[in-house]
Amino acid sequence: MEKKRKEYLDGICQPELIPYKEGDKVGFCDRNKKIVIPIKYDWVWSFSEGLACVKLNGKWGFIDGKGEVVIPIKYDEVGVFSEGLALVGLNGKWGFVDKKGKEYFDDTPKKK
């Protein structure tokens, strides 16, 4: 019984990937400080719902746990994922993006 409890606790307590900074660049490592995603980004946010926000050359996008870009690095501002959507800012407009990269911007003209 004790062994099962330990496995269960290890499974829920083990952090996913941890931001790791070296010089002025950031990547991700595991809990043993083994680099998993290359240290090449200007900034990163921790993983949320399986994706992390990354900043490269002044723009933001999202990567998965393997370091693959799943939502293009093109946004001016981003927020972390919550309930399947993340807030994004692009060219002065705000909207949302889902985990597949589909954008939801409200382009409806405002009434005066």
pLDDT band at 74 (very low <50, low <70, confident <90, very high): very high
**How far is 26 from 53, CA to CA, in rounded Å?**
12
Residue 13 in this model has a pLDDT that exceeds 90? no
Q: Quote the percentage of the chain above a pLDDT of 90.
A: 76
pLDDT band at 12 (very low <50, low <70, confident <90, very high): very low
**How far is 43 from 31, CA to CA, in rounded Å?**
19
Residue 53 lies in a domain: yes
Contact indicator for 59, 34 with CB cutoff of 8 Å: no
Residue 10 lies in a domain: yes
Q: How many domains, the chain?
A: 1
pLDDT band at 109 (very low <50, low <70, confident <90, very high): low
Residue 111 lies in a domain: no
Domain span holding position 73: 2-105
Residue 91 in this model has a pLDDT that exceeds 60? yes
Give the residue with greater pLDDT, 108 vs 32.
Answer: 32
Give me 6's structure tokens.
Answer: 């330990």
Residue 4 in this model has a pLDDT that exceeds 70? no
Mean pLDDT of 78-88: 95
Nearest to 73, CA basis, from 56, 89, 85: 56
Residue 99 lies in a domain: yes
**For residue range 31-67, what is the model confidence (pLDDT) as tens digits?**
899 999 999 999 999 899 999 999 999 999 999 999 9
Residue 110 lies in a domain: no
